[in-house]
Amino acid sequence: MNRGHHEPSIDDLKARVARALELARGLGASQAEASASFGTGLSVTVRLRAVETLEFHRDQGLGITVYFGGRKGSASTSDLGAAAIGESVRKACTLARYAAEDACAGLADADRLARTVPDLALWHPWSLDADEAIEAATRCEAAALDSDPRITNSEGASLSSHEGCRVYGNSHGFLEGYRDTHHSLACAVIASQGEQMERDMDYTQARDPVDLHAGEAVGRQAARRAAARLGAVKLDTRQAPVLFPPRLARGLVGHLVGAVSGGALYRRSSFLLDSLGTAVMADCVTIDEQPHIAKGLASAPFDDEGVATTGRRLVSAGVLQGYVLGSYSARKLGMASTGNAGGIHNLVVHDTGQGEADLLAALDTGLLLTELMGSGVNPVTGDYSRGAAGFWVERGEIRFPVSEITIAGNLRNMYRGILAVGNDVEYAGAIRTGSILVREMTIAGA
């Protein structure tokens, strides 16, 4: 996909944002901020060797937020024409006049805005046409279907490629933007044996298409995972250690992020209230935020408010070193923005040196997870209960698959009970972690 002459460039988007800010100032706004974006994408899904969906996406938009003192109004448009932008600014100003005063509302502090915008190698367009995308997805699914006779059905293989650009500006004089890309390939299949059926999947994603795993490898891995789950049994209720593989360990760390994020903290709806400087995880756990990793899936030179992103240590030997804050939540807490308006930027969980075999040996007898279901996590109390499937392990060896079970605990105890973090890192998403071994959870038949 190559950008056509009719598609806006970063300079085009900057001009539109600058115009929106100028109009807001002319209408009496004391502060204003605007963002504009444009993107194109191609996605295809192939199921049972036939094309199921083929879509081309073209998205654009501009959002404007104005402040009249502590009163805030916002509006947006998908039309980047001058008339639509002008109408959106006027609507935002009208809405602001009806809003209640909020002393914490306003732009990010000027001295925290990014002064330089480093090139983080986020833009790697893939010149892929529809035929090539279909062929790649077909090869991926075919590798799964042909690898094992027990693979009897498919949910399909999906390929997606997206490229775009984004510009943000505000009345402090900030006006910057950058281009980025995101590519992914996934496959999900169903294995059958008698009357039993099991589903599993694999996927790969990257900024640069050359960093994607081979499609055939993704398909074969999906097939292996699905077939390995055949013959699963339930477990009776017991207490045992649980090993979260990387794709599930990311979610476990994600609950920590939610608990130390500004919105949950100032609303006092987090199980980790007032936890700054205290031990919230085991002393073997250290987590860094690294927003400037080249090609990082969550890398960004600045956050959604233009605040400069900087590397920092979030958790040091189990002790929480900082919160995850944008400007508004920071003011509500009497603190400063951490450059996290819009989310985190590449959390890296340091490993404790063990590989997969070492982790199974450390698990000894317990549960190796493969899937979690449901959303039974209470962010206020930390209570955790999820449907699960996986493998029962005895003396460090996988014995048999299990399904229709529930794992339960409390995140406070789970975090403090982490025994190890593996070096089997999967580089996907905003959180980079290997497998995480938790000392003990309740396991029961669902």
Average pLDDT, the chain: 96
- In this predicted structure, the answer to whether residue 168 has a pLDDT above a threshold of 50 is yes
Q: What is the mean pLDDT of residues 269-280?
A: 97
- In this predicted structure, the answer to whether residue 1 has a pLDDT above a threshold of 70 is no
State the Cα torsion 337-311-410-414 to the nearest 10°. -160
- In this predicted structure, the answer to whether residue 342 has a pLDDT above a threshold of 70 is yes
Beta strands in 294-411 (DSSP E): 312-316, 319-320, 347-349, 366-373, 383-394, 397-410
The dihedrals phi and psi of 72, each to the nearest 5 degrees, come to -120, 140
pLDDT for residue 3:
42
Tell me the C-alpha distance between 200 and 187, whole Å. 9
Per-residue pLDDT tens for 421-438?
999 998 888 999 999 999
pLDDT for residue 4:
45
Per-residue pLDDT tens for 29-61?
999 999 999 999 999 999 999 999 999 999 999
Work out the widest C-alpha separation in the chain, in whole angstroms: 72
Give the pTM: 0.94
- In this predicted structure, the answer to whether residue 2 has a pLDDT above a threshold of 70 is no
Could you tell me the pLDDT band of residue 446, with boundaries at 50, 70 and 90? Answer: low
pLDDT for residue 417:
98
Tell me the C-alpha distance between 262 and 332, whole Å. 8
Domains with residue ranges and CATH for the chain? 10-227 (3.30.2290.10), 232-446 (no CATH)
For residues 414 and 407, is the Cβ–Cβ distance under 8 A? no
List of residues 6+ apart from 267 with CB closer than 8 A: none
Query: Percent of the chain, pLDDT > 90?
Result: 96
pLDDT for residue 428:
84
Query: Tokens 């233009």 label which residue?
Result: 306
Per-residue pLDDT tens for 170-206?
999 999 999 999 999 999 999 999 889 999 999 999 9
Q: What is the DSSP letter of 71?
A: E
Per-residue pLDDT tens for 224-259?
999 999 999 999 999 999 999 999 999 999 999 999
For residues 31 and 170, is the Cβ–Cβ distance under 8 A? yes
Tokens read off for 407: 């794992």
* Displacement of CA 160 from its chain's centroid (Å): 16
* Helix runs in 162-277, H state only: 215-228, 246-259, 262-266
How many Cβ atoms sit within 10 Å of the Cβ of residue 357? 9
Q: C-alpha distances in angstroms, 390 versus 196, 257, 357, 406?
A: 16, 25, 16, 11
pLDDT for residue 124:
98
Query: Tokens 């007898």 label which residue?
Result: 365
- Helix, strand or coil for residue 25? helix
Nearest alpha-carbon partner for 124 in 205, 203, 209 = 209
Tokens read off for 376: 């039974």
Query: Exposed, middle or buried, 111 (CB in 10 Å: 0-12/13-18/19+)?
Result: exposed
Tell me the C-alpha distance between 55 and 61, whole Å. 20
Radius of gyration of the chain (CA): 24
The dihedral sign for the CA sequence 356, 359, 365, 366: negative
Query: Exposed, middle or buried, 16 (CB in 10 Å: 0-12/13-18/19+)?
Result: buried
Per-residue pLDDT tens for 110-146?
999 999 999 999 999 999 999 999 999 999 999 999 9
Tell me the C-alpha distance between 251 and 249, whole Å. 5
- In this predicted structure, the answer to whether residue 89 has a pLDDT above a threshold of 60 is yes
**Tell me, what amino acid is at 348?**
V
- Helix, strand or coil for residue 262? helix
Tell me the C-alpha distance between 223 and 226, whole Å. 5
Tokens read off for 91: 């609507």
Q: What is the mean pLDDT of residues 303-319?
A: 98
